Structure 1
Amino acid sequence: MESERYTQALDAIYQGFADVDGIPTALESIRNLIGAEGATFEVIDPAVRRPVMFHSSGVASAEGDDYLAHFAPRNPRLPVALRQQRGELSWDYQVMDESAMTRDPFYMDFLPRAGLRYFLSVVLDRSPQRLVAFTLQRSPRRGHVDRSEIALMRRLTPHLQRAYGMRGSMAAAHGDGVGTKVLDLLKDGVALLDPKGEVVHANPSLQAIAIETGLFRIDARGIHFGASDLRSRYARAFGAVIGRDGLTLADEAIDFLAPRPGGLPPCTISLRALRHGWPRSDAPEAVVMMLVHDPLQESAATHLLQDLHGLTRAEAQLACALSTGMTAVEYAAHRGVKVTTVYTHLKRTREKTGWRSVAELTRRVHEISIRLRED
């Protein structure tokens, strides 16, 4: 259960920071995971000690406005954050003890109005011009954070930093209101479809998956699966999402597997209703998004494994492949290499990561993978 909640939080972090208005959803997921009444994301101008960007979850809008208007410069936690490096955490007893809190206006005048007292914070980024911080806000009843909660925040920190960095990169490349161009950055295949199933937009990854797997082909009239059973599954899934009246059903999300021969792991096909249509004028007729995940495509997890554990590209690719359920023998046959070579890579992967089994490897890879959310 805890592992599932952690994975859901990761999903929310990456999706939330990629969405123009999605940050509060990401904050809510993290505060539910670690345990907090509120969560805030701030970009602060160090010169004036005030936020220039502020998002919150679980904090009443009136309290947020009061904080921004009067208490932000008087926050005793801020001087500590301004001295911290990127990725450093802080919490109350690093700032002051209980006795000092009772003499501090921020702790005695402002926080009680919101029913809050304690915090756990991390600096996601910093420069002379800005400080980017994520903070969990806790009630007196919930109490001061403990070691396990601090450890969990440390575990989440690299993901928060990457998600924030991705948001900045996409905004720099395409503006804050990213359209179909952002889909072209994804490793997973994505198609936007109109009510008839005709293709409005297909990203390059989808084209590549179609060619490499041979499972389907793409033209302006739609997505065409080769096998009759897959054609039937796709038709049923699209019909379930669209509904009989031709309108998308807001809560519908259909997933099915597309098997491949030779013991290779299947692709996952997911259809999602776009609840309010595509949010940009570059594809106004799009009402359904189809996503295709090929577990053998090099993913973001491959690069993260290289960065986090110093794996070679071959070792990281093996780890990702084994996490899909492939055996070492199947992977060797797919790559056209000797089985002994695969076992050598697996041994080195275990030495570098400390993971003791394929089951642990699978769990860890899933933790850092960006997965689709159903809601």
Structure 2
Amino acid sequence: MDADLKLIGTLFEELAEPDWASAFLTGVCEATQSPAGALLQVDVASRRQTLPAYVGQGREMAVAFERKHAEGNPWRPTDEASGPPAGSVVVPDDALPLSALRRTAFWSDFLRPMQIDHGCGLIGFRSPEKVVSLTLLRSARRGVYDAEERAWLGRLAPHWVNACRLRNRLVPNERNESDATRALDALSTAAFFFDERGRCARWNAAADSLLIEGDLVRLRGGHLVAAHPGSGALFASTGATTVLRRRDGSVGGHAAAHRLPGHGALGRARAVVFVDSLTAMRPPLLRQALTALHGLTPREAELAERLATGSDLAETAAAMGVSTEGARTRLKVVFGKAGARNQAALVALVRSLYAVLGQNTSDT
């Protein structure tokens, strides 16, 4: 009982902070032997799903979920507006058995690489605009969340609901933050946002592309670093421009750091670094072209783009969170759609398209 009271207390200690639910989430994961968990927020109108907090996995997992896998999440209700009310304990296995889950792309591409088979949700807030829930994840070895665990979560539910309601009143601009995220993702310039410790807390879609490329900047221990040792420090002087060099030493772009107020639509981010690549075409543009010209799905286009940048099939599969055999199966489909006889022909096709789009980009 004392442990439960202490756990509940963590909910109300830092309600106005960005990571207000992290300690509670960690405690619930430990108590239920769940190696991973997340705070899931859903925008009802757009059905956009975001993970403001998570444990057991890195930021890369959250980015992969939000940008690639959320849309195919079979654990979400078809009609979000009429889903379970706040305070409900939801176990997806009740409606979707493991055998059926394992036939979905969501499991094979996202859950399986993390060795996740079962989930459990605790709804904390529901309104016509958004839904907030706690999601717990674990493997088949640990099994489905049982009646005792559900009852324990049910006892926590009233406190979780109260905390979510208070949070919604204290931080009314979370919707603005979601709108800001969508606006930032539309930028062609990469933007990296940092907390007060100088750790990269979030980034936009263009920044995600630069990280995949890995030729200008990288994340190391949560810190943004230049790929080439001869590049200047990214935080050397706020407002000044830093020249970034590619790994071969050539000038590849510029970075500029700016201080932020630590409040408003961007939450408590304290600084932003904008990185502009001089020559690299954004992979999203290439993937859009592959989709438009050859009918590739977004995941198929990503597979083709990664192979064209020099990654082998095993590396590509690992980066995409799928098995090598699964990637090989997808690749055969890509061959047929693109009219390529083999991987070499596909790479040549993608690189030629890359060159054409790069030329067009520089001409505009």
Q: Same fold (TM over 0.5)?
A: no
* TM-score when normalising by structure 2: 0.44
Structure whose alpha-carbon radius of gyration is higher: 1
